[in-house]
Amino acid sequence: MELHERLQAARKQAGFESAADAAAALGVPYPTYAGHENGSSGFRADKGELYARRFKVRFEWLMREIGPMVDLASKYREILVAFDSLPTDLQDSYADVLRKLAEPFQQQEPVREHPRVTAKPT
């Protein structure tokens, strides 16, 4: 994936539907941002840091495609903070849903076969 394609993917995963929306949120002139995203002009590390921070992707991924797109530990923290802010009854409901979603991925206890007992002739 090329640099401009990673930038576009980062924008989309951050929830910006268009390059114009992203440029406005970043405070970057639209022609500048559009050139970065469509590949007609590259960008340096200082812009990459801004884009990575605002789009919540890893700088190393954005600039060089090293590692995963997002820092999963940060993502999990965001989810837990949001979960903790919910009223208790909603937390219980969401926890039940999550348990049901996780069931197919739970390790199953191995089925233990009982040794067959055969009667010895006396």
Tens-digit pLDDT profile for residues 43-92: 999 999 999 999 999 999 999 999 999 988 877 888 889 999 999 999 99
**CATH at 46:** 1.10.260
Number of domain units in the chain: 1
Domain span holding position 59: 1-94
- H/E stretch holding 84 reads helix 72-84
Distance CA 83, CA 77 (A): 10
In a domain, 102, yes or no: no
In a domain, 122, yes or no: no
- Asked if residues 10 and 65 have their Cβ atoms less than 8 Å apart, the reply is no
Q: Pick the more confident residue, 29 or 98.
A: 29
- Asked if residues 31 and 37 have their Cβ atoms less than 8 Å apart, the reply is no
Question: What pLDDT does 12 receive?
Answer: 97
